[in-house]
Amino acid sequence: MITKRIDFKKNSVQALANPKLKKALVNFTDRSRASRKKAVSEISEWEDLRLEARRIKEQVIKDLDSYLLELEESITRVGGKVHWAKDAEEASKIVATIAKENNVRNVVKSKSMATEEIELNKYLISRGINTVETDLGEYIVQLCNDHPFHIITPAIHKTKEDISKLFSEKFGVPEYEEPQKLANIARKELREKFLSADMGISGVNFAVAETGTIAIVENEGNARLATTYPDIHVAIMGIEKIVPKFEQLSIFLSLLARSATGQKSSTYVSLITGPRREGERDGPRQFHLVFLDNGRSQIAKSEETKESLYCIRCGACINICPIYRQVGGHSYGWVYSGPIGAVITPQLNDLNKTADLPFVSSLCGACRDVCPVKIDFPHVFLSLRQKIIEQAREKPNPREFMEKIAFWIWGTVFSKPFYYNFMGKIMFFLQCFYRKDNELQRLPYPFSKWTRDKNFPAFSKNPFRERWKKKYQVKGKAPR
């Protein structure tokens, strides 16, 4: 939960001042865009898959309650237990209680944005339960006491050199340069953790209502190990992750892998249906599934923005976003970044504290074009902006008040041709203090924000409407 207002401007200015970060972002976004593009072009039915996935998601969010009940029934049938959590606190408490009841000391975690959202690690560690991230990127982030920079690739802001230094500090090894050696160190450290763990925590990519199967997608094998080796498996899912039918999974698995990493399929796709059954020799003895609401059921009720819940967390919108490419993940102030962060963070938190985010878009629409479930991001941004402005109307801060006045004047002037013409003349005279070579190079606040970096065009002495009247109107058409 966000407690302090997210100041995107401050965060982004800080990020922009870091040239090393910019280089990493350009490299990363170039690579991921290219691999996605290639993977998508390989299958001719891509558009059909997107449409079908969107249709399924619309259906799920529309009847979310009944699908959740169906999923609970299926999970219970296969020997698992479902827990309903209305918010972060409740979800964390559920996990801690399961741990306490089973005398759990060591937990291994696979990557999960839902657990980042509820800050589960902090909660468990503060209660004396050792909790270790096992996805390499998340492990690095945890070692530095940092936050994920991206929902799929959490440590892209760290260079090879950063990691080499970090491992050397933490594990007393030399500062290796080769990535392979660094990976081996992490592997060795993590192997110990897996072997001593008595509980594994995972997220959920998709949960099939009819069978009670959860699907977990990954590339390192750590999620498979974390969900099979320890005696207890606790999975945490945002309630929107449901897929009604087992056969529909293939659509989503294909969309996710190609959109996220440009793979045909992720290296590991684990389909887990309940705990170890009688006569089976391995697998966890207990399987718990936590349904995390944390504001989602409210989003589902909003006609205008409920499509935010169709998201399958592939990160394609982040990778294509020209703004993320400049400022990276931490500027967005919470666990979700890029366009998807800018639309769901304000909806899962206090809108007043997150009101910067829906304005962090030039409405270019690149995110909408790549989204595998066709979320109309500009539409959601526009609805949230309207909501923010209308809320702020009642008790505006000074900046909002100024903006309100400015748009009131604008609306009055631009809806009356007489005022509009008159404004053109006034502006032409007012600008004479600033004009140079028919451009404006230094304007007063707030336009100074523009003229600090670039010139602004001058109001023309003869705007088009005047030229038309003088030169062309008589003849009714322009000269050849």
The interface with another protein within residues 440-479 (CB under 8 A) comprises 441, 446-447, 449-450, 452-460, 462-469, 472-473, 476-479
What H or E segment, with its residue span, contains residue 234? strand 232-238
Stretch that binds another protein, among 118-126, 128-136, 219-227, 382-390 (CB under 8 A): 382-390
Give dist(CA 323, CA 314) in Å, integer.
18
The verdict on 81 binding another protein (CB under 8 A) reads no
Q: Which is nearer to another protein, 174 or 444 (CB)?
A: 444
What H or E segment, with its residue span, contains residue 116? helix 113-117
Give dist(CA 202, CA 187) in Å, integer.
19
The encoded tokens of residue 49 equal: 């898959």
Q: Which is nearer to another protein, 148 or 358 (CB)?
A: 358
Degrees, nearest 5: CA angle 177-178-184: 115
Inter-residue contact 135 to 147 (CB < 8 Å): no
User: Restricting to residues 289-348, which ones interact with another protein according to CB under 8 A?
Assistant: 322-323, 325-327
Q: How far is the CB of 344 from another protein (least distance, A)?
A: 18
Quote the DSSP letter at residue 83: E
Give dist(CA 143, CA 355) in Å, integer.
31
Q: How far is the CB of 418 from another protein (least distance, A)?
A: 9
List, in sequence order, every residue forming a beta bridge with 435; answer none if it has no partner: 440
To the nearest 10°, report the CA torsion of 30, 32, 38, 39. -170
Q: Which is nearer to another protein, 283 or 463 (CB)?
A: 463
Helix axes 179-196, 136-143, angle to 10 degrees: 90
Contacting residue, 278, 390, 394, 395, with another protein by CB under 8 A:
390
Peptide bond into 417 cis (omega under 30): no
Write the binding mask 398 to 437 for another protein: x where contact by CB under 8 A, - elsewhere: -----xx--xx-xxx-xxxx--x---x--x----------
The verdict on 394 binding another protein (CB under 8 A) reads no
Inter-residue contact 332 to 15 (CB < 8 Å): no
Q: How far is the CB of 131 from another protein (least distance, A)?
A: 35
Q: How many residues at the interface with another protein, by CB under 8 A? A: 72
Contacting residue, 4, 281, 395, 480, with another protein by CB under 8 A:
480
The encoded tokens of residue 371 equal: 């989204």
Q: Which is nearer to another protein, 171 or 410 (CB)?
A: 410
Contacting residue, 360, 373, 375, 380, with another protein by CB under 8 A:
360
The encoded tokens of residue 267 equal: 């290296």
Q: How far is the CB of 370 from another protein (least distance, A)?
A: 11
Q: How far is the CB of 20 from another protein (least distance, A)?
A: 15
Q: Which is nearer to another protein, 102 or 455 (CB)?
A: 455
Look-up of token digits 């966000």: 2
